[in-house]
Amino acid sequence: MIGTSRLWTGRYILILLMAFFFFLGIQILTAGFPAYITDLKESPTEGGLMTTVFMLSAIITRPLLGYFMHKVKLALLNALALILVALSIGASIGQDSLILLLCLRSIHGVGFGILSTVFATMATNIIPTKKLGEGIGYYGMATSIGTSIAPMIALSLLQLASYYYMIVFTMGLTLVTLVISLFIKTPQQSASLPVNERKMTFQESLFDKDAFIPCSLTIFFTISLGGVISFMGELGKEAQIGSSVPFFFLVLTLMMVLVRPLSGRLFDRYGHKMIIYPGVLSAIVGLILLAFTERTETLLLAGIFYGIAYGVITPTLQAIAVKAVKKEKQGTANAMYFSGMDFGIAIGSIGLGAVASKTSYHFIYGFSVVFLVILLIIYTIVLFKKNAQNEKSIAEAM
């Protein structure tokens, strides 16, 4: 399968479906838990803490996966992690204890750290090299659609039904993911690898310097994403347009679906420069609009710009990281990328929640622009440095 030039194989399609249902369920909890706790405890900081504990658990788990994915059957790893997540979600029913819910969220984070990395590695391992940008784009579209519509579903369930129905629904999605995973052939990873690849040390499986920069840049973008995922409901209340917030996520999702295939093809043909600059500028415009939004029209316009940014930036940075490493270290690159993403969302959730408690929800979105400016500065410096090195190599060769 790895050597084929076809992108749309049966296994690839099943991986996309599995990723979509899993990310939808887990991100419903990511959006629903902070909203539930914020209303219950009347504290945005405690609400953001739910997401932070979840993300930190995933971050701690991920570094171990690059090593264990060469030792354990992926089918077994998938099944155990999905069962763990389903059981911990079920244990959340009827609970209002902050300590207990934090513990359960940490278990969700462990499962998320395992599954999101394994799913991504399964996908990148079978995507043809010449179609890496496009393949990761579609995979990212599947996960991001789930991530984007999840807050809309979570807030709707909390408003129209109850916390109980939100938990039951997400547990059902996790079980659907488990069923799909049973139909995906996942042979023993180490059995198919050359001898020299199986001798990868534990330290080597944790980190790859070639993937460090794109994974670090991911942190700066996802700090703003953490605020969007965790506090859009509260922004709606503050602006007195709370009923319009679900439509923000709907618009965001639609824009992301439209731009994802195009961005993947642009990456494969022209490289990442054609994507990163307009993508980050679009995110900045979206955040500025959120900072000043008082009307539904402004909110939806912000969803358009931020949806474009979300649709192109995250898969592009992942593709850069995966393309920069050797085939056998794609698992490490994916783990580093998702750790960066989780770390950024964690910082955004707890940090912006704390800032919001002292200022306002409008303020935190304007404040998030600072992190995107830093992203552009670092990216530009690295890009010019790399271009200078390439020019020097060409001159020396002549």
pLDDT in tens, 151-179: 778 888 888 888 888 889 999 999 999 99
Sign of the dihedral defined by the CA atoms of residues 174, 178, 183, 187, in that order: positive
**Dihedral, CA of residue 342, residue 298, residue 259 and residue 374, to nearest 10:** -50
For position 286, what pLDDT does the model report?
96
Quickly state the pLDDT bin for 52 (edges 50, 70, 90).
confident
Q: Tell me which range, 106-110, 205-209, 389-393, is most confidently predicted by mean pLDDT.
A: 106-110
d(CA 287, CA 345): 15
pLDDT value at 190 more than 50: no
Considering the four listed CATH numbers 1.10.20.140, 1.20.1250.20, 1.10.15.40, 1.20.870.10, the one that applies to the domain covering 10-185+205-397 is 1.20.1250.20
* Bigger pLDDT: 64 vs 213: 213
Q: Residue 104 is encoded by which pair of tokens? A: 């359960």
d(CA 215, CA 344): 10
d(CA 312, CA 106): 29
Instruction: Please report, for the chain, how many H helices and E strands are present, in that order.
Output: 15, 0
Average pLDDT over residues 244-256: 88
For position 1, what pLDDT does the model report?
40
pLDDT value at 220 more than 90: yes
For position 197, what pLDDT does the model report?
47
Do the beta carbons of residue 177 and residue 22 sit within 8 Å?
yes
How many residues does this entry show for the chain? Answer: 398
Q: Which amino acid is at 393?
A: S
For position 202, what pLDDT does the model report?
66
Quickly state the pLDDT bin for 398 (edges 50, 70, 90).
very low
For position 362, what pLDDT does the model report?
94
* Bigger pLDDT: 227 vs 130: 227
Among 154-163, 271-280, 326-335, 383-392, the minimum mean pLDDT is found in 383-392
For position 4, what pLDDT does the model report?
55
Could you tell me how far CA 83 lies from the centroid of its own chain? 21
Question: Is 185 exposed, middle or buried, given 0-12, 13-18 or 19+ CB atoms closer than 10 A?
Answer: exposed
Average pLDDT over residues 137-147: 82
Quickly state the pLDDT bin for 325 (edges 50, 70, 90).
confident
Quickly state the pLDDT bin for 68 (edges 50, 70, 90).
confident
Quickly state the pLDDT bin for 343 (edges 50, 70, 90).
confident
d(CA 288, CA 70): 45
* Bigger pLDDT: 345 vs 1: 345
pLDDT value at 189 more than 60: no
* Bigger pLDDT: 14 vs 194: 14
For position 58, what pLDDT does the model report?
83
Residue 45 CB: number of other CB atoms within 10 A?
A: 19
Average pLDDT over residues 191-218: 70
Question: Is 129 exposed, middle or buried, given 0-12, 13-18 or 19+ CB atoms closer than 10 A?
Answer: exposed
Question: Which of 351, 376, 367, 303 minimizes the C-alpha distance to 56?
Answer: 351
Question: Which of 140, 241, 118, 94 minimizes the C-alpha distance to 184?
Answer: 118
For position 43, what pLDDT does the model report?
66
d(CA 174, CA 27): 11
Residue 40 CB: number of other CB atoms within 10 A?
A: 14
For the chain, the average pLDDT equals 84
pLDDT value at 123 more than 50: yes
Do the beta carbons of residue 11 and residue 184 sit within 8 Å?
yes
For position 186, what pLDDT does the model report?
58
> How large is the C-alpha radius of gyration of the chain?
20
* Bigger pLDDT: 193 vs 80: 80
d(CA 120, CA 269): 22
**What percentage of residues in the chain have a pLDDT greater than 90?**
32
